[in-house]
Structure 1
Amino acid sequence: MAGTSDIEKAADVLRAGGLVALPTETVYGLGANAEDPAAVSRTFQVKGRPSSHPLIVHIGGAELLDDWVQEVPATARLLAEHFWPGPLTLVLRRGRRVPLEATGGLETVAVRVPDHPVALALLSAFGGGVTAPSANRFGSVSPTTADDVRAELGDAVDFVLDGGLCEVGVESTIVDATGDIPTILRPGGVTREDLESVLGCPLAVPASSRIRVPGQHPSHYAPRAQVVLVPPEKVVTEAELAQELGHRVGVFLPAAFGDAEVKAHAVVRVPDSMAAYARGLYGLLRELDQRGCDIIVASLLAEAGLGLAIANRLRRAAGPRAAA
């Protein structure tokens, strides 16, 4: 776990315009000084991320929100009070401190307060905001350990802070709080049910939105292997058929199958707990890549609670990919 000297060094790297991989409760982020357009632009270059895709600005506390946005509607204030620090991102009108490089040219900005002691210590030591998209190549599986970051980005990152395994394991929930009625633009670590309980009204989760936010690309969170989604009851037959056809098949076996044997190259068993599944999802995808699978067969489980975020990640992992 990163200590005080590591955090001070990371803060110095940010001040100098460098990039720092930092742990959050969701995934590891590729951090840059949010007010330094050159550093922010380098983030896009390292990730291979289109410059039109906005970044999330991470700040050290809810009390700092007014410094980064034009106005904070009552609904946004209520959500910040209940869920920060935590895996919730609010989209609001961009304040003057935020360069357009960080927002993909939009007049809105995505902001959150991470719930990780190392991230919060870094934000405190640095004294500013940090843009921190996931610390991986654009479109690939997000990192949930420091080793994941090192394996994927290597020397392109100036400093890596090790904060252990990410507790939540999937990215933050993104809520458009610019209008009268909030909308979930990306399901994530804060569930729709929890948001609705606080707000006292139902929230929509549209398939597309007028505001660009992270995680909307058709193919995202994707391993090298092709991901195939089928109904739970067809996972075994689909996997065994693909294996017979000569593929090296990895299987996400639902808990309902117990210890059933599957004729496949590699089998990982999905945890009963949605929280455990979310925490381990990206690690499992990486594991099947490392074991040489070229197809991963999985299913969507109940889309309630964290199941909504898991389903979102799996659908985008299985999404159409651009031709090489």
Structure 2
Amino acid sequence: METKHFNNQNTDIEAAAKLLQQGEVVGFPTETVYGLGADATNDEAVKKVFAAKGRPADNPLIMTVGNIVQLTPYVEISDKAKSLMTAFWPGSLTIILPIKEGQVSMLVTGGLQTAAVRMPANEVTRTLIKEAGFPIVGPSANLSGKPSPTTAAHVQHDMDGKVAGIIDDGPTQVGVESTVIDMTAKTPTILRTGAVSQEDLAKVLGEEVVDGTSKKALAADQTPKAPGMKYRHYAPDKDVFVFDPLDWFDLQEVLTEHDAVMADEDLLKNLKDKKQPSWSLGHNLNQASENLFAGLRYFDDEQKIDRIYVQSMPDMGLGKAYNNRLAKASGGRLFQGLDRD
């Protein structure tokens, strides 16, 4: 299949929308990561997304809309859910809601009676969806389990020849996937951390919000309500290790030419060997989140690199989302520092 490459101009957006109307798959930008779009009401189109990604069939897809009107035929929207939409949409919040009977494909929901829904902040994509005339599915536009794409070039790397088109709107701004909140639970529960924090959600809802991301992993026969709950995600083929900034000088004692290090600018200024393969995470947490997946993807393609050491961040706010993705990418492996006894 030839993959067409589009820019963010109206004529290209219209051409991409026509591909969606024809049941094809198109890579699209959001403020978080690039997504892989297809008509959420067309089972054959949705199957193409699973095939392109190599995604397990029981891993539900997010239904992405250009406006709330597109959503109302498919899900039940409570007053509390409306308050979240008012506060955080368009933006990086995905809300799990009950579906209306017979209105949503079971391929999209993973066979569940709930659907994960989102309205992205990216104007190009909202225009695309409104032009297409239906909601689209929107999983990250990478091979299943691999680091998420934050540029159109990342999408091309994984999906060239597998999808009908890719829209390039430049690098994403947030860099980690949206927060997912389950509004069908007895108490609103976060199933995936992101830029919208637990405190942000609780303030709008006026009630407790539970962080469910640390719950025991799902069993093989259980279907997750949201992406990222069951299967390994964000993982390069190379070995990834997480290091604490306090261990920075110890880490430098063990680095070789086959190791890459990803750290913020303050640490990299003190890198002893200036030839050491390195990737800047920027000057702050926002920039680190933007740069994380791009760095992992870059070093994963470098043949001489065997190991990637990545700096952890303070575990609060967006830092929780950053550390969550990093823990999944590393499989929980940590650099423990040197034993100096």
TM-score (norm. length: structure 2): 0.87
The answer to whether structure 1 residue 23 and structure 2 residue 29 are counterparts is yes
5+ residue gaps, structure 2: 1-6, 219-223, 334-341
For 2:8 and 2:292, locate their aligned partners in 1 and report how far apart those are by CA, in whole Å: 24
Alignment equivalent of 1:277, drawn from 266, 288, 291: 288
The answer to whether structure 1 residue 297 and structure 2 residue 309 are counterparts is yes
For 2:36 and 2:181, locate their aligned partners in 1 and report how far apart those are by CA, in whole Å: 21
5+ residue gaps, structure 1: none
2:3 alignment partner in structure 1: none
Distance 1:242 1:219, change over 3 A: farther
Asked if the contact 1:175–1:183 (Cα under 8 Å) also holds between the matched residues in 2, the reply is yes
Amino acid across the alignment from 2:121:
D
How many angstroms does 1:171 deviate by? 0.6
How many angstroms does 1:167 deviate by? 1.4
Distance 1:193 1:320, change over 3 A: closer
Helix, strand or coil for the counterpart of 1:156? Answer: coil
Asked if the contact 2:178–2:195 (Cα under 8 Å) also holds between the matched residues in 1, the reply is yes
Alignment equivalent of 1:114, drawn from 98, 113, 120: 120
How many angstroms does 1:218 deviate by? 5.2
Could you list the per-position Cα deviations for residues 135-173 of structure 1 after superposition, in whole angstroms to 9, with x for gaps in the alignment? 110000111111111111111010111111111111110
Amino acid across the alignment from 1:223:
P
Alignment equivalent of 2:167, drawn from 142, 161, 175: 161
Alignment equivalent of 2:82, drawn from 71, 74, 77: 77
Alignment equivalent of 2:239, drawn from 198, 208, 226: 226
Bigger drift between 283-292 and 54-63 goes to 283-292
For 1:240 and 1:266, locate their aligned partners in 2 and report how far apart those are by CA, in whole Å: 15
Helix, strand or coil for the counterpart of 1:66? Answer: coil
For 2:160 and 2:268, locate their aligned partners in 1 and report how far apart those are by CA, in whole Å: 38
1:311 alignment partner in structure 2: 323
Helix, strand or coil for the counterpart of 2:72? Answer: helix
Asked if the contact 1:239–1:251 (Cα under 8 Å) also holds between the matched residues in 2, the reply is no
Alignment equivalent of 2:298, drawn from 267, 273, 287: 287
Residues paired across the two proteins, number: 317
Helix, strand or coil for the counterpart of 1:271? Answer: coil
Distance 1:74 1:114, change over 3 A: same
Alignment equivalent of 1:176, drawn from 182, 187, 198: 182
2:91 alignment partner in structure 1: 86
2:227 alignment partner in structure 1: 214
The answer to whether structure 1 residue 104 and structure 2 residue 110 are counterparts is yes
Question: Quick one: percent identity of the two aligned structures?
Answer: 37
Amino acid across the alignment from 2:258:
R
1:11 alignment partner in structure 2: 17
Bigger drift between 3-12 and 217-226 goes to 217-226
Distance 1:320 1:17, change over 3 A: farther
Helix, strand or coil for the counterpart of 1:24? Answer: coil
Structure 2 matches for 1:143-154, cutoff 5 A?
Answer: 143-154=149-160
Structure 2 matches for 1:247-258, cutoff 5 A?
Answer: 248-257=258-267
When the two chains are superposed, the root-mean-square deviation of aligned CA atoms in Å is 2.0
